[in-house]
Structure 1
Amino acid sequence: MNNERFEAGLEVRRAVLGADYVDNSIRNADDFTISLQHLVTEYCWGEVWTRPGLSKKARSMINIAMLTALNRPHELKLHLRGALRNGVTKDEIKEILLQTAIYCGVPAAVDSFRIAQEIFQSEDA
């Protein structure tokens, strides 16, 4: 494990997904899942999310579309919250999800709209 890349990834991961969520994920990892936590933190967050080519906002927008296409509701919930932290507006999320309806299918977009609405309601509460 590259400690410098892991630490950079941990910082970005906490900023986007929330420190409580990330710290709990790592703290609750066991012998079976800790390697995945290290992999995700070091490579996903430390190698890719720290690159200068795209803003965190743009990366969040791309993730919303990809997670809708892949039908990954748990990850979509996390990344919708992260997108809001990264400055993606509700209107931009709506437009992303409308775009996914055309290219990923209406059922995928309907589910993602439902999930986004739940997140918005919980964030507004």
Structure 2
Amino acid sequence: MLQLDRVVELYLLLPKYPRKLSVSELHQRLINRGPDFNVCRRTVERDLVDLMGSRHFGVVTDGAKPAGWYRDPQISVFSDHRSTNQPAPVGINPQPAAPELGCVRCAAEHRQAAAEPVPMRCAA
């Protein structure tokens, strides 16, 4: 089993705010997922701290004793489409990025800048 598999499984076990789970509850649920996830409680704590340190996942603790852990959808860049068994919606860009513009973000900024009016200079 890869560490990544365990961390992803742990992330999927986290409830959305306002529900919360303690490390002990998350540890027990992770163990119940199968023998591949039989790790110590301290490893679960470390994994949660790692997830919380990432700016992408929106994992938060309330700091209480015992701490409650949850996913904050306001912070996370991932939406939860797992519960509906539907694929995540994919946005279609009507103007594909030109290869000379580099990444999609740069191409979008370039198109925005091109759409702004350019002040005319007097040719006289």
Q: TM-score, normalised by structure 2?
A: 0.30
Of Structure 1 and Structure 2, which has the larger fraction of its residues in helix?
Answer: 1
Q: TM-score, normalised by structure 1?
A: 0.29
Of Structure 1 and Structure 2, which has the larger fraction of its residues in strand?
Answer: 2
Q: Tell me which structure has the larger Cα radius of gyration.
A: 2
* Structure ranking higher on relative contact order (CA contacts 8 Å, 6+ apart): 1
